[in-house]
Chains A and B, each alone.
Chain A
Amino acid sequence: IQLTQSPSSVSASVGDRITLSCRASHSVGTYLNWFQQKPDNVPKLLVYGASSLQAGVPSRFSASGSETEFTLTISNLQPEDFATYYCQQSDSPPLTFGGGTKVQIK
């Protein structure tokens, strides 16, 4: 299952609201997860099951979708949110990741 993320990069300002997209080549139901990776750090699980926030993730993050179309929204963008975000499907092996969306400071 291939995952296509768009855009590949986005420039935004602190306080902005942005939406990242992930499209699956085949239905993954709601077995879609989102990871955040900051430079020189390992990926961190943000969202699992398409819309459930991992413990400790701020409520400015929200996610939705099912089957083949998914979104991750960050409201009131904070300085610590500038990172690369990857979607990943855990519906069936091989597990696959999207190419990532880099969120940069405008």
Chain B
Amino acid sequence: EVQLVESGGGLVQPGRSLRLSCAASGFTFDDHALHWVRQAPGKGPEWVAGISWNSAFIDYADFVKGRFTISRDNARNALYLQMSSLRADDTALYHCTKANRVSWRLIDYWGQGTLVTVSS
């Protein structure tokens, strides 16, 4: 069974940093691209960043470029999102998601998410 378990969320002041982690199991981790997708309360999903299986390809949404960094550790079956210069509008539930093995942009499974609240 695929499991994606996020951690690292919490309450943080504007301008500060936070690092999210995702522990994966139940599939061959280094066969799949991974993405972070966020969902603000009462809003639709919003893609944040994606990383290919070997970290050779990385994409970011324009609103996080230069502030967030996605990375992965295939030896540890882990995905990370380093977030800096956080703003109030970054407040959301952040989901670790797994892509289809064939198409690295096709998201086919979501973790339950970790809540990030940016507030003074």
Instruction: Flag A54-95 by CB within 8 Å of B: 1 or 0 each.
Output: 100000000000000000000000000000101010110111
Q: A84-B44, A90-B106, A90-B107 are in contact. List 5 more A-B contacts (CB 8 A).
A: A33-B107, A42-B111, A88-B107, A94-B61, A97-B44
Q: How many A-B residue pairs have CB under 8 A?
A: 52
- Which single residue of chain A is at the shortest CB-CB distance from B57? A93
Q: Known contacts A48-B106, A88-B107, A93-B59; decide if A42 and B50 are in contact (CB<8 Å).
A: no
- State whether B45 touches A43 (Cβ < 8 A): yes
- State whether A94 touches B44 (Cβ < 8 A): no
Chain B residues with CB under 8 Å of A13's CB are none
- State whether B106 touches A97 (Cβ < 8 A): no
Tell me the A residues contacting B by CB distance below 8 Å: 31, 33, 35, 42-45, 48, 54, 84, 86, 88, 90-91, 93-100
Tell me the B residues contacting A by CB distance below 8 Å: 35, 44-47, 50, 59-62, 95, 100, 103, 105-113
How long is the Cα–Cα vector from A44 to B45 in the complex, in angstroms? 12
Q: Known contacts A42-B110, A54-B108, A90-B106; decide if A99 and B44 are in contact (CB<8 Å).
A: yes
- Which single residue of chain A is at the shortest CB-CB distance from B109? A45
- Which single residue of chain B is at the shortest CB-CB distance from A91? B105
15 contacts between A and B (CB under 8 A): A33-B107, A42-B95, A42-B111, A42-B112, A44-B110, A45-B108, A48-B100, A90-B106, A93-B50, A93-B59, A94-B47, A94-B62, A96-B47, A97-B46, A98-B44
